[in-house]
Chains A and B, each alone.
Chain A
């Protein structure tokens, strides 16, 4: 099972490190990372494997959200399938 982590907001030092540390703690394997700046907003998107996730999906999503809140960024963790079903026929 794969999840997409998105980070949107002002570019800040160490955000990639913080999110990847959380992934390591939760036994989440990062497969791909892309970063872009869209309309002055920093957007980072991580695709990761959550088959061996330690703890519940909800606790992982909440922890990621909390990291974002500390830095004034919006961080979401969502199942990959929602994007696939919405944007691919």
Chain B
């Protein structure tokens, strides 16, 4: 029989330390729904999603009951809609978003991701039109997420897209200014976007994927923090790293179990487990608090980047052995408004956008869920996107930008959404203008992959 201590450890992780499965995401290919008549295409999209995902929510609920482990979100990711848009020129693309919204309500999922375009090297038919329709699509829907990949290590950075995305992010916030600018919180700009990411807002179903797959994202910052707390302040960094690896292994094993169960019950191929430590605004579920438990007075202090690098690496090392297939973003997330410790650090001034940028060089995503002043010009947002994409491009890693211009608000004021998105203060950004650089357009060449120093 399993040892009593192990059983109680699992129960206390779930009961007291907020261990949960963050998301079970069904990836569905919509390539067979392409049609030159947008209404026909929308019909096919609706039918395919509601057929494939009909049992997704009930199956996840059964797994929750049987294993006693909460599954917080059930989501769907689809083929980037720009590929469907390419076939129907001059159509009103928001129809696709409304169709996805209708499908999400029918099957009862929390989000559908994939109102997306991949333009790292250039715009194909449909790409520019889709990107321009994003603000309207996000304003008219509640459960749809959009993403745009504007750069990659192999292709470089599409600076025309960077310029456009600065305007699109602003417009998304402006159109939803009555709802705390939530449009911009559902839009992420990527460099090196993974094609099997189960997390929102950046999930889409890549073209190299199978027709339908199940990807699972775990959570568990609270578990790591609690384990470090028990370890005490005298332990060496070697011991800290070892303990994080062991804890991450356990968390990921649970994700693997849920992925296997969900895929076999739904009769769908198991895709990947995403090892990310995803925080929530709930007390005790914060990545910042893990860094503080390692010995920082506050997240944002000198040493934050080093602690995060250790955490991110140890999470991967522990998780990789626990799962048959690892993918997605897999690392530590640092979304400011979704993390109680980050919110406190941002409010107190300990954490700045420049420090967050440095942190993104060593962790899994990028500048995520950061509220910026409402009067920030589009060129400055584009500049932030270009900087973040450059970090991702040069370091062969995924980076992203999800900033929310708080329309009508300034530094120190707050945006609050509640739920998983949380809320937090507006943070200062550098006001000097990169306008000339951004307006040049063109392509930033891909970096050399040798002579590394």
Contacts and interface: CB of A to CB of B under 8 A. Distances in A.
Interface of A: 4, 6, 8, 32, 34, 36, 38, 43, 45, 47, 57-58, 61, 74, 76-88
Contacts, number: 69
A81 B67 contact: yes
Contacts of B11: 6, 8, 76, 78
Contacts of A8: 8, 11
A35 to B, nearest CB: 9
Contact of B1 (A32, A58, A77, A86): A32
Contacts of B10: 78, 82-83, 86-87
A74 B8 contact: no
B68 A86 contact: no
A34 B254 contact: no
B69 A34 contact: no
Interface of B: 1-11, 15, 65-69, 250, 253-254, 256-257
A57 B67 CA distance: 10
A87 B6 contact: yes
Given A57-B65, A57-B66, A76-B11, A83 B257 contact: no
A82 B253 CA distance: 9
Contact of A79 (B3, B5, B67, B256): B67
A11 B416 CA distance: 44
Chain A interface main SS type:
strand
A6 B257 contact: no
Contacts of B7: 4, 6, 45, 83
Given A4-B2, A47-B1, A74-B15, A82 B8 contact: no
B65 A45 contact: no
Given A4-B2, A57-B66, 20 more contacts: A6-B7, A8-B8, A8-B11, A34-B4, A43-B8, A45-B1, A76-B11, A78-B10, A78-B11, A78-B66, A79-B67, A81-B67, A82-B68, A82-B254, A82-B257, A86-B250, A86-B257, A87-B2, A87-B6, A87-B10
A85 B257 contact: yes
Contact of B253 (A34, A80, A85): A85
A86 B4 contact: no
Chain B interface main SS type:
helix
Nearest to A83: B2
Nearest to A84: B2
Contacts of B68: 61, 76-79, 82
A78 B250 contact: no
Contacts of A58: 65
A77 B69 CA distance: 11
B15 A78 contact: no
Nearest to A78: B68
Contacts of A87: 2-3, 6, 9-10, 250
Contact of B254 (A4, A6, A86): A86
Contacts of B3: 87
A6 to B, nearest CB: 6
6 shortest interchain CB distances as A-B pairs:
A78-B68, A87-B6, A85-B257, A82-B67, A58-B65, A83-B2
Contacts of A88: 2
B6 A86 contact: yes
Contacts of A32: 1
27 contacts: A4-B2, A6-B11, A8-B8, A32-B1, A36-B4, A43-B8, A45-B4, A47-B1, A61-B68, A76-B68, A77-B68, A78-B66, A78-B67, A79-B66, A80-B2, A81-B257, A82-B69, A82-B254, A82-B257, A83-B6, A83-B7, A83-B10, A85-B253, A86-B6, A86-B250, A86-B254, A87-B6
Contacts of A77: 68
